[in-house]
């Protein structure tokens, strides 16, 4: 089979040449690094890299050559069987793709229906890295999480750059400096990264999120969780944020207004896949903030969480509040971002190339492959069937009441005791000598064992060991009484009984003592 063949059957697509193309001028990341190129080649693929594709991310062409890739022109890279890209291609770039090619990148299929139509007309297969389902085995391919982690960190760095004061509190000879107060709206991956970064710089960090289960995560990294208390519980079945109720939005708005008048920095991270970003911070809230305060709107690319934010711009309001609407936060750490993105992409290629033979196969029976495939052989396959990654907790069924044990009446208990005593006296009266004597000794031994040894406190003696020693005590008492017998065999057996039973008793106490020492302080 030729390398350039595209098979439109459910079995998938077969390719062998991978091209790494350069991004648009405003993007510093690259889809593959020299390190990930080595892994891609180990899967059986040949790799070509557009000249200068990794220069902005500090990956020179020579490193790609050392990794086994070939340097080619832009036109040649776009003509590869598989094209790796970070951002979605333009209309002109789509026309560079040959029919039957596979494009892998961040495509935002829910927000770009025209892009899907253009890819469909070109007759290609498109895989959206940002459509990976939020399931456990797909975590290594989750581009949104890896990029959000970097973006959350970088948001704090950008805020610190604009903020004209310390984040941490200090006490100096010249006076006391109070720590900065930071509010993070949304405690997802980006939000948690921002909380951890701001907290590590010494700031007082507060966070909001519709999901109460993230409260412990916020606290664990040094933040304070501000609960929005309404009569609803936010739950997600696909791992992504959901729209909130009117009651929640009203109470949250009150909290944002209260915090805006108090905090120095606000970082917003609220995004709902496939929909415009919800408005959280109003113009009134911005007007309440102190001059020199900073707002980082991480959702600016999708409409923004903050009134007045502009995608890609730095805005200064009339009251001196700086609003950053940067949309390229991961790109501002290009080396690290490229490595993480490249690793996510490699993990997807491993899934699609299970045989490591350089042939990419798409299996729609696999939920991950089905979800990321937005166009297949020129046919739009978006949206995929919903993927259930979590479910609302099922109400626990009330346990069936245990049937009450019938209590033995005093009359019945007395009758049984009387019957037992009668049976005992009957055995003693009818049994030939010396059986009654031995039987009486046995009963007394039982009483001694269970009421003397068995009553030892469990802190000093486990219940199991108490029972064991009780039985051993019975053996010891009985053996001692028989050791004076005139028969040699009886004497030997009695001596062995005393020895073995004593070993068991003393050994039990020795083990117990050793266990107690494990819980004893060293200075005691």
Of 211, 238, 240, 336, the catalytic one is: 240
Residue 297 backbone dihedrals phi, psi, to 5 degrees: -95, 95
First to last CA, the chain: 79
Is residue 139 part of the annotated active site? The answer reads yes
* Token pair belonging to 367: 């939920």
> In the predicted model, is pLDDT for residue 185 greater than 90?
yes
Residue-wise pLDDT tens digits, 80-90: 999 999 999 99
- Return the closest-CA partner of residue 29 out of 350, 360, 345: 345
Of 81, 142, 264, 285, the catalytic one is: 142
Select from 300, 332, 364 the last residue of a domain. Answer: 332
Quick check: is 214 in a domain? yes
Same domain, 21 and 119: yes
Same domain, 117 and 153: no
Same domain, 359 and 261: no
* Full-model pTM: 0.70
Using an 8 Å Cβ cutoff, are 201 and 181 in contact?
no
Is residue 240 part of the annotated active site? The answer reads yes
Same domain, 358 and 423: no
Using an 8 Å Cβ cutoff, are 59 and 44 in contact?
no
Helix (H, G, I), strand (E, B) or coil at 6: coil
Q: Which residues, listed in sequence order, are joined to residue 322 by a DSSP beta bridge?
A: 294, 316
- The whole-number average pLDDT for the span 507-514 is 75
Q: Which residues, listed in sequence order, are joined to residue 200 by a DSSP beta bridge?
A: none
CA distances from 470 to 439, 447, 510 (A): 17, 9, 16
Using an 8 Å Cβ cutoff, are 342 and 147 in contact?
no
Quick check: is 135 in a domain? no
> In the predicted model, is pLDDT for residue 396 greater than 70?
no
Report the number of distinct structural domains present in the chain: 3
Same domain, 27 and 161: no
User: What is 377-432 written as a DSSP string?
Assistant: TTEE-PSPPP-----PPPPPPPPPPPPPPPPPPHHHHHHHHHHHHHHHHHHHHHSP
Provide, rounded to the nearest whole percent, the portion of the chain with pLDDT above 90: 59
Owning domain of residue 246: 146-170+178-332
- The whole-number average pLDDT for the span 417-425 is 80
CA distances from 306 to 186, 267, 289, 327 (A): 13, 10, 13, 14
Confidence of residue 169 (pLDDT cuts 50, 70, 90): confident
Residue-wise pLDDT tens digits, 333-380: 999 999 999 999 999 999 999 899 999 999 999 999 999 999 999 999
Please state which of the ranges 73-77, 164-168, 471-475 shows the lowest mean pLDDT. Answer: 471-475
- CATH for 41: 3.40.50.720
Confidence of residue 404 (pLDDT cuts 50, 70, 90): low
Please give the residue that has the higher pLDDT: either 151 or 508: 151
Residue-wise pLDDT tens digits, 467-510: 677 777 777 777 787 777 778 887 888 888 888 888 877 887 77
Is residue 142 part of the annotated active site? The answer reads yes
> In the predicted model, is pLDDT for residue 387 greater than 60?
yes
Same domain, 66 and 118: yes
Helix (H, G, I), strand (E, B) or coil at 304: coil
Same domain, 111 and 156: no
Same domain, 153 and 257: yes
Same domain, 210 and 351: no
Please give the residue that has the higher pLDDT: either 452 or 207: 207
Of 16, 120, 122, 145, the catalytic one is: 145
Select from 332, 366, 389 the last residue of a domain. Answer: 332
**Residues 154, 149: Cα–Cα separation, whole Å:** 9
Same domain, 163 and 107: no
Backbone angle region of 292, left / alpha / beta, with phi > 0 → left and psi within -120 to 50 → alpha: left
Q: H/E/C letters for each residue in 456-469?
A: CCCCCCCHHHHHHH
Quick check: is 389 in a domain? no
- Angle at alpha carbon of residue 201, lines to 166 and 206, rounded to 5°: 95
Quick check: is 213 in a domain? yes
Quick check: is 12 in a domain? no
- Please report how the helices 189-200 and 143-162 are oriented relative to each other, as an axis angle in degrees rounded to 10: 40
Of 73, 90, 139, 235, the catalytic one is: 139
**How many other C-beta atoms lie within 10 A of the C-beta of residue 355?**
9
- Return the closest-CA partner of residue 109 out of 128, 134, 82: 128
Which of 2-16, 116-130, 456-470 shows the highest mean pLDDT? 116-130
Quick check: is 386 in a domain? no
Of 134, 154, 206, 370, the catalytic one is: 134
Quick check: is 387 in a domain? no
In this structure, what DSSP letter does residue 281 have?
A: B
Same domain, 230 and 323: yes
Quick check: is 321 in a domain? yes
Confidence of residue 78 (pLDDT cuts 50, 70, 90): very high
**Whole-number mean pLDDT of the chain?**
85
Same domain, 231 and 93: no
């Amino acid at each position: 089979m030729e390398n350039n063949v595209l098979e439109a059957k459910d079995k998938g697509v077969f390719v062998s040449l991978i091209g790494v193309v350069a991004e648009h001028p405003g993007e510093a990341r690259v889809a593959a690094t020299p390190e990930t190129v080595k892994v891609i080649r180990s899967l059986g693929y040949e790799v070509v890299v557009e000249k200068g594709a990794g220069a902005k991310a500090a990956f020179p062409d020579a490193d790609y050559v050392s990794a086994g890739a070939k340097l080619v022109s832009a036109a040649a890279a776009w003509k590869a069987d598989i094209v790796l890209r970070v951002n979605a291609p333009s209309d002109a770039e789509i026309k560079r793709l040959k029919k039957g090619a596979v494009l892998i990148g961040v495509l935002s299929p829910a927000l770009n229906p025209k892009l899907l139509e253009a890819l469909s007309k070109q007759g290609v297969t498109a895989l959206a890295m940002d459509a990976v389902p939020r399931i456990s085995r797909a975590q290594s391919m989750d581009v949104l999480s890896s990029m959000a982690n970097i973006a959350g960190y970088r948001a704090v760095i950008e805020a610190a750059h604009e903020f004209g004061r310390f984040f941490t509190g200090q006490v100096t000879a010249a006076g006391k400096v109070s720590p900065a107060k930071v509010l993070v709206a949304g405690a997802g991956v980006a939000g948690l990264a921002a909380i951890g970064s701001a907290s590590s710089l010494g700031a007082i960090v507060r966070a909001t999120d519709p999901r109460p289960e993230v409260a412990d995560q916020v606290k664990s990294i040094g933040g304070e969780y501000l609960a929005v208390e309404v009569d609803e519980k936010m739950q997600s079945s696909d791992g992504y944020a959901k729209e909130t109720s009117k009651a929640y939005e009203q109470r949250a708005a009150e909290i944002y207004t209260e915090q805006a008048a108090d905090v120095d920095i606000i970082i917003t991270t609220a995004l709902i896949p496939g929909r415009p970003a919800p408005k959280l911070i109003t113009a009134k809230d911005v007007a309440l903030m102190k001059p020199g305060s900073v707002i980082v709107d991480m959702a600016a690319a999708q409409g923004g969480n903050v009134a007045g934010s502009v995608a890609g711009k730095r805005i200064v309001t009339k009251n001196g509040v700086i609003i950053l609407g940067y949309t390229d936060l991961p790109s501002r750490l290009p080396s690290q971002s490229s490595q993480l993105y490249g690793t996510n992409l490699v993990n997807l290629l491993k899934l699609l190339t299970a045989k490591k033979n350089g042939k990419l196969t798409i299996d729609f029976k696999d939920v991950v492959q089905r979800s990321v495939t937005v166009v297949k052989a020129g046919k739009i396959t978006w949206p995929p069937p919903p993927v259930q990654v979590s479910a609302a907790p099922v109400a626990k069924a009330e346990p069936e009441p245990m049937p009450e044990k019938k209590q033995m009446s005093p009359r019945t208990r007395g009758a049984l005791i009387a019957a037992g005593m009668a049976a005992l006296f009957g055995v003693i009266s009818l049994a030939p000598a010396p059986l009654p004597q031995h039987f009486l000794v046995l009963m007394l031994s039982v009483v001694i064992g269970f009421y003397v040894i068995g009553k030892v406190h469990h802190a000093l003696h486990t219940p199991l060991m108490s029972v064991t020693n009780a039985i051993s005590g019975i053996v010891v008492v009985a053996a001692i009484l028989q050791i004076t017998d005139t028969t040699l065999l009886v004497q030997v057996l009695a001596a062995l009984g005393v020895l073995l039973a004593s070993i068991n008793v003393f050994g039990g106490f020795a083990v117990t003592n050793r266990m107690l020492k494990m819980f004893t302080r060293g200075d005691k």
